[in-house]
């Protein structure tokens, strides 16, 4: 520990996970996440319940992050928080907390774009991660976002493709719901897919222009397919769940890889970094690694805990902004539609 060490407390509350992390010079000292179980029984995130749960969780989560990092709040140099995009009620809890805490400690406030954070999570100092070289393509895939971003430097990035309807995580979660699986269904589909035949059934690949994505048609196709099969055999789901999951996952992987091939071709950039909850998917990870051999890609897959929504990724962006002295003022507000 030296006097030049920069300690940042980061807060994440954009959706249904309440996160707090402490970073020292870009290294994670603690990274605490409280997941909100309440949404499981509703089959998706209920915004009103999410904000209430954030309000309950935020103080204990921050206490835990400081305790795990073995840091006293008076040692902090700045507070970073997720300004957006996300659910307004959820963002307001983190934003208000961060502003009040920074005021109370008389230290600067750092407003962070959640999508920057998913991308810059690759720059967290961690022996198990490799930092991508600029320029690179970042694909952020989660329950709320699906984007391909051209990243030229830490804060110079351009969205070159995104979903025109549902996010990729919704395609997983909504299809899972149709199959009677609990929320969030993505990890369950992934697990069952490993036991099934990816060629058993065929689902249509939606046609979105350029580098954009479309997933709402796939969910509808799964619904009609399951309804039809159930008419023929009421036990269809139980008897074929692994094959349906494998085939669906195979289709989604195909969509992702096709777009990445197109993106590398149009930009000439072959370095690909992924982020967001869906990048935990074992099939997508494998397909990306296969791309190294097949297409000459260099791929960067973050450590699992920096992949789903977490505060450590907010902290690294906060740290980079701190070095630039890019502080936000006391009138900063949450921005549910904050663009990259």
Q: Which of 26, 108, 277, 302 binds ligand KG4 (CB under 6 A)?
A: 277
137 lies in the binding site for ligand KG4 (CB under 6 A): no
Query: Nearest to residue 314, comparing CAs of 39, 83, 112, 67?
Result: 112
Among ligand KG4, Zn ion, none, what does residue 280 contact (CB within 5–8 Å per kind)?
ligand KG4
Backbone angles phi, psi at 331, to 5 degrees: -95, 0
26 lies in the binding site for ligand KG4 (CB under 6 A): no
CA angle in degrees (0–180, nearest 5) for 8-317-168: 130
19 lies in the binding site for ligand KG4 (CB under 6 A): no
For strand 156-162 and strand 146-153, is the pairing parallel, antiparallel, or unpaired?
antiparallel
| Beta carbon nearer to Zn ion, 30 or 142 | 142
173 lies in the binding site for ligand KG4 (CB under 6 A): yes
How far is CA 275 from its chain centroid? Answer: 6
Distance, in Å, from the CA atom of 323 to the CA atom of 320, rounded to the nearest integer, reads 5
Q: Which of 206, 241, 309, 315 binds Zn ion (CB under 5 A)?
A: 309
142 lies in the binding site for Zn ion (CB under 5 A): yes
Distance, in Å, from the CA atom of 248 to the CA atom of 309, rounded to the nearest integer, reads 24
Closest approach of Cβ 284 to ligand KG4, in Å? 7
| Beta carbon nearer to ligand KG4, 28 or 245 | 245
The three state secondary structure string of 226-265 is HHHHHHHCCCHHHHHHHHHHHHHHHHHHHHHHHHHHHHHH
Taking contact as CB under 6 A, which single stretch among the options 49-57, 151-159, 276-284, 295-303 is the one that binds ligand KG4? 276-284
Among Zn ion, ligand KG4, none, what does residue 173 contact (CB within 5–8 Å per kind)?
ligand KG4
Residue ranges in 278-297 that form contacts with ligand KG4 under rule CB under 6 A: 278, 280-281
């Amino acid at each position: 520990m030296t006097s030049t060490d920069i300690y940042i407390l980061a807060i994440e509350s954009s959706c249904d996970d309440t996160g707090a992390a402490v970073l020292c010079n870009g290294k994670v000292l603690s990274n605490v996440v409280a997941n909100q179980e309440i949404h499981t029984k509703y089959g998706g995130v209920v915004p009103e319940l999410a904000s209430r749960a954030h309000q309950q969780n935020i103080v204990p989560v921050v206490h835990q992050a400081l305790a795990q990092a073995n840091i006293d709040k008076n040692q902090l140099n700045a507070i970073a928080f997720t300004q957006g995009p996300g659910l307004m009620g959820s963002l307001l809890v983190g934003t208000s907390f961060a502003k009040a805490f920074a005021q109370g400690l008389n230290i600067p406030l750092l407003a962070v774009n959640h999508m920057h954070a998913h991308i810059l999570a690759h720059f967290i100092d961690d022996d198990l991660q490799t930092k991508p070289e600029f320029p690179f393509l970042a694909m952020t895939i989660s329950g709320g976002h699906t984007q391909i971003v051209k990243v030229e430097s830490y804060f110079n990035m351009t969205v070159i493709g995104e979903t025109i309807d549902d996010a990729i995580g919704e395609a997983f979660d909504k299809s899972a719901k149709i199959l009677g699986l609990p929320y969030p269904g993505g990890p369950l589909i992934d697990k069952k897919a490993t036991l099934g035949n990816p060629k058993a059934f065929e689902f249509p690949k939606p046609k979105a222009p350029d580098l954009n994505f479309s997933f709402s048609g796939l969910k509808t196709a799964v619904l009609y397919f399951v309804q039809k099969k159930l008419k023929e055999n009421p036990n269809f789901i139980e008897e074929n769940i692994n094959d349906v999951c494998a085939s669906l996952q195979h289709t989604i992987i195909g969509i992702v890889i096709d777009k990445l091939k197109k993106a590398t071709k149009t930009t000439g950039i072959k370095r690909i970094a992924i982020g967001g909850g869906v990048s935990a998917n074992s099939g997508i990870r494998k397909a990306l690694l296969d791309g190294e051999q097949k297409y000459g890609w260099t791929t960067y897959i973050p450590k699992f805990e920096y992949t789903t929504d977490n505060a450590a990724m907010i902290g690294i962006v906060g740290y980079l902004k701190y070095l630039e002295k890019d502080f936000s003022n006391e009138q900063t507000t949450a921005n549910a539609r904050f663009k990259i």
